[in-house]
Amino acid sequence: MARSNIFGKKQNEPWRGSSVSEENETTFHCSELITGCNLTGLLTLTEEEIELAIYSYDAYFSIKPEEPIFVLTEKNDVVSLHSNVGNPPGQASRCIAPVRTIYRQDIISNIAVVGHDAWKSEDQIKCATFKVRHSDHLLRNKVKIDRIRREEYPHEDDLTIYKDTIEGQSLGARYGVIYGPEFDHPKEIWPRYSIEFSPPTSLHEYIRHVSRYVRFLSFCLGSPLKPSAIRIDRLSFNERNSALEDQSYPGDHLVHYVWPEAKIDTHDLWVGGSPALVWEDDELIAFRACLVAWMERAAGWDKAYTMMMTCLGLKREISAERLVNACRWFEEIPLAGSRSALTDADVEAIATAAARQAENLGHPPEIRSRIAGSIKRIKEETAEERFRRLVKMVQGKFGETCLPESAVADLKQALAFRGKTAHGHYSPESDSEFNAFSRAVAAMEALCMLLTAFELPLIAEGIMRMASNPVIRDYRHAIS
């Protein structure tokens, strides 16, 4: 019996291909476009794996995994596989009549680009767009959303949330809208983010900027987010609009990664703890300024951003790994560096006085260099002095509600526990030690989050909300 699809047509009607990106399927029949033999196989696309299996029933073949691989799927899409690894083909043979051999080569990829044509290594990206799950409420501007809901044909200014230009990039976000069958009001409204590149960039480079963008949203919500539905284009927005007008636009490309999404407790995603959001127009202005500042300083902060994401991904556990990564996050923050407790002039004066006294006691003049070296070793501030200074600094901006003075002791404990965990697994010996360990982890992450926010151009409302950010709140719960 024929099975109906969503349009009410039968499967025995003329076949019309549909895009891989429109399907919930994960495995597709395909034909390779590399060898010239049109060998067929199966392509699997999931968040956990991108794998190609190619078969030959006639003769031996070999596809080089170090080069991009192109296949045509049953959906009439070309899939371009990049960053591949694989072995030479294996074979299954029958040695008695009828004698036959079947060859198979397996390729594992990290990137799959789906579109109307092959995406080659030299192709350049002018525009990338993407969604970010769980970020919708950050970008719900009340005025714009209200107008979209009231207007049958929303104005472009209302659909555009923001667009800001920094060196070489244009950062944007706009609302996507789905209407119900009556078309009288939106059924669904969501934000879609974008980056335009000038000059254009490569497939391996653009994702670094997308990741920075997503890390800002993760910072706002205190949860590890990832991009989804990533689409890349060889044309800019203006070029695409012109091509659409003259009906020559070929389409963009969808990008798949082996990039599983971290489990997120949706009860923990309270937007009221975000230092930046776009609900009101003044908040929208501040959000844009913070995003631009976040992206502009990224070259010096990338390691800190990466460690932040690692720590956010470990929120569901209390472990030595989480503590070590929290300490590494702290070490990568440019603002967290040690300061000198003594000036060079102080070191010289102390060394001179100590050397003079040493000579009076009968020691040789050569001892002066040893004294100076010893004094230089104590020149840097101690861990306690460093933590006390940094806690006082963030208190000056965010208040003691975010980080009380007692956090200094927990931060010192974090370093002590890190020493115990440096050589392997660590297991607290008692409930009180486990509680101290938990407080130490939460204190270190809270300080790191506040230092990450410190130089951003937050407005008063955003500063007040930092106390409710999940990372800060977790420490407050740990000491309550």
- The answer to whether residue 40 sits within a structural domain is yes
Domain of residue 231 covers 125-296
Rounded Cα–Cα distance for residues 333 and 22 (Å): 42
Given this model, what pLDDT does residue 422 score? 73
Each residue of 92-104: pLDDT tens digit?
Answer: 988 888 889 999 9
Rounded Cα–Cα distance for residues 280 and 91 (Å): 64
Given this model, what pLDDT does residue 5 score? 31
Each residue of 401-428: pLDDT tens digit?
Answer: 999 999 999 999 999 999 888 766 778 8
Percent of the chain exceeding pLDDT 70 equals 88
Number of domains in the chain: 4
Q: Answer with the residue of higher pLDDT: 239 or 20.
A: 239
Residue finishing a domain among 263, 296, 329: 296
Given this model, what pLDDT does residue 254 score? 97
Same domain, 451 and 306: yes
**Angle of helix 470-479 versus helix 431-454 axis, rounded to 10:** 150
Q: What is the mean pLDDT of residues 41-59?
A: 95
Given this model, what pLDDT does residue 143 score? 93
Residue finishing a domain among 324, 357, 377: 377
Q: Answer with the residue of higher pLDDT: 167 or 446.
A: 446
Q: Answer with the residue of higher pLDDT: 131 or 22.
A: 131
The SS3 assignment for 145 reads helix
Q: 255 pLDDT band (50/70/90 cuts)?
A: very high
- 184 pLDDT above the threshold of 70: no
Same domain, 284 and 373: no
Given this model, what pLDDT does residue 1 score? 32
Same domain, 273 and 177: yes
Same domain, 281 and 334: no
- The answer to whether residue 165 sits within a structural domain is yes
Given this model, what pLDDT does residue 96 score? 87
Same domain, 71 and 173: no
Given this model, what pLDDT does residue 4 score? 30
Each residue of 292-351: pLDDT tens digit?
Answer: 999 999 999 999 999 999 999 999 889 999 999 999 999 999 999 876 655 666 666 666
Residue closest to 144 by CA, chosen among 155, 130, 132, 129: 155
Q: What is the mean pLDDT of residues 63-84?
A: 96
Same domain, 359 and 465: no
- The answer to whether residue 232 sits within a structural domain is yes
- The answer to whether residue 4 sits within a structural domain is no
Same domain, 415 and 463: yes
- 16 pLDDT above the threshold of 60: no
Same domain, 440 and 326: yes
Same domain, 131 and 234: yes
Residue finishing a domain among 64, 89, 115: 115
Given this model, what pLDDT does residue 7 score? 28
Rounded Cα–Cα distance for residues 343 and 451 (Å): 25
- The answer to whether residue 18 sits within a structural domain is no
Same domain, 273 and 221: yes
Rounded Cα–Cα distance for residues 415 and 383 (Å): 9
Q: What is the mean pLDDT of residues 118-139?
A: 96
- 88 pLDDT above the threshold of 60: yes
Same domain, 278 and 162: yes
- The answer to whether residue 10 sits within a structural domain is no
Same domain, 235 and 264: yes
Rounded Cα–Cα distance for residues 28 and 50 (Å): 11
Given this model, what pLDDT does residue 378 score? 61
Rounded Cα–Cα distance for residues 271 and 233 (Å): 32
As given in the structure block, the two tokens for residue 210 are 């997308």
Given this model, what pLDDT does residue 347 score? 64
- The answer to whether residue 12 sits within a structural domain is no
- The answer to whether residue 16 sits within a structural domain is no
User: What is the H or E stretch that residue 249 is in?
Assistant: none
